[in-house]
Amino acid sequence: MKTLFILPLLILFVTQSFSQKLQERKEGSPLEGLPANIEILTLFGERADFSPDNKRVAFMAKSFGDAMVIDLETRKIDCLTCNVPGAAFLRVMHLVTGDYLLIGPDKFEDIETSRARDNELWFLSKKPGSKPIKLGMKMSEGAAISKKSLQIAFSQVHAQNPELPEGASRIIVTKLDLSSGTPKLVDQKAVFESPDRSCVAEAQDFYDNDTKLTFACYEPKGMSSVMSLDLSTGESTNFTPTPNVYDEPEGIIPGGKYTLVESDRQCEWLGGKRGYRNCDIWKLRMDGTENDYERLTKFNDYVNGKASNPVVSTDGKHMAFQLANPNDPAGVGYGLLLYKFD
């Protein structure tokens, strides 16, 4: 009797698994037939960031280009750095004051050199016509910016700091001091160090009243894990311990229980090369179980589609993210979208 009972269940499981494996990516554009809770915000641009009051979204026109900002009510777009000849920035992010933090090289040399060795931090005042001011700090990839204070976290590797061995990385927490009229970074402290390429760190988001920090742990073979660092104890936690999966934290949800993640987990039934090239946006409960992991976008269901670089408004009502192509380098986008949470 047990065999007779188990056999239909086994057949059903195998049939479902087989049909799931047969799914194929579709031709066309992910922008066709968007669900009701997703709307197109711009038809160009990448790396969105909400203003503290959630009324605007700053973004990059392109990689190594100008920083822009769009008013969410009027949809008017303004250029923040068009007064800078040959602007070659990679990221723009809001500070709690409404000013901006820019990331990028002083000038474009080539993609690899300008994105790694020459990548640095800049301050840009919110006053119209202001020009970026160097903060004198080289750094790797992106930064975490507090939504409560002028605290910033960023990573360094050997390319920006030759004192670090090849393959090593570290996360630095610092504060932006605007009291003297000339912006400067103060109280710098290394809070996490990795000696080799088993975990190349990139700071992502502060949470729990700035006592904790999410960061990406880039691993060998192009994989990544969602990590958290307790800034008071120095203890780190891996929230996605499943091996051979790409999980990169991107955008914390207010409350600190969930983070958005660029993940390749849909490759389990869609196929394709694992890693950042085939990713979609997922929502992860940060408890280390991976039991509460929800897929929010299905752009990677398309042959040349993926969704990436999500950020969440400070009220938790919206997510901004970008349309991207799996064939491009990480961060390249072709327009911004606005996702409304239930």
Q: Is residue 27 part of a domain?
A: no
The pLDDT of residue 17 is above 50: no
Per-residue confidence at 342, pLDDT binned at 50, 70, 90? Answer: confident
Q: Is residue 1 part of a domain?
A: no
Q: Is residue 336 part of a domain?
A: no
Q: Is residue 116 part of a domain?
A: yes
Model confidence over 108-133: pLDDT tens digits?
999 999 999 999 999 999 999 999 99
Q: Is residue 49 part of a domain?
A: yes
Question: Residue 33's pLDDT is what?
Answer: 87
Q: Is residue 258 part of a domain?
A: yes
For the chain, the distance separating the N- and C-terminal CA atoms, rounded to the nearest angstrom, is 46
Q: Is residue 123 part of a domain?
A: yes
Q: Is residue 158 part of a domain?
A: no
d(CA 99, CA 52): 10
SS3 207: strand
Count how many domains the chain has: 2
Provide the domain limits for residue 112: 40-127
Question: Residue 22's pLDDT is what?
Answer: 53
Domain boundary among 127, 159, 192: 127
- pTM for the structure as a whole: 0.91
* CA distances in angstroms from 317 to 54, 73, 226, listed in the order given: 10, 15, 23
Q: Position 185: which residue type? A: L
Which residues does 103 contact at the CB level (< 8 Å), separation at least 6? 89, 90, 91, 92, 93, 119, 120, 121, 122, 139, 142, 143
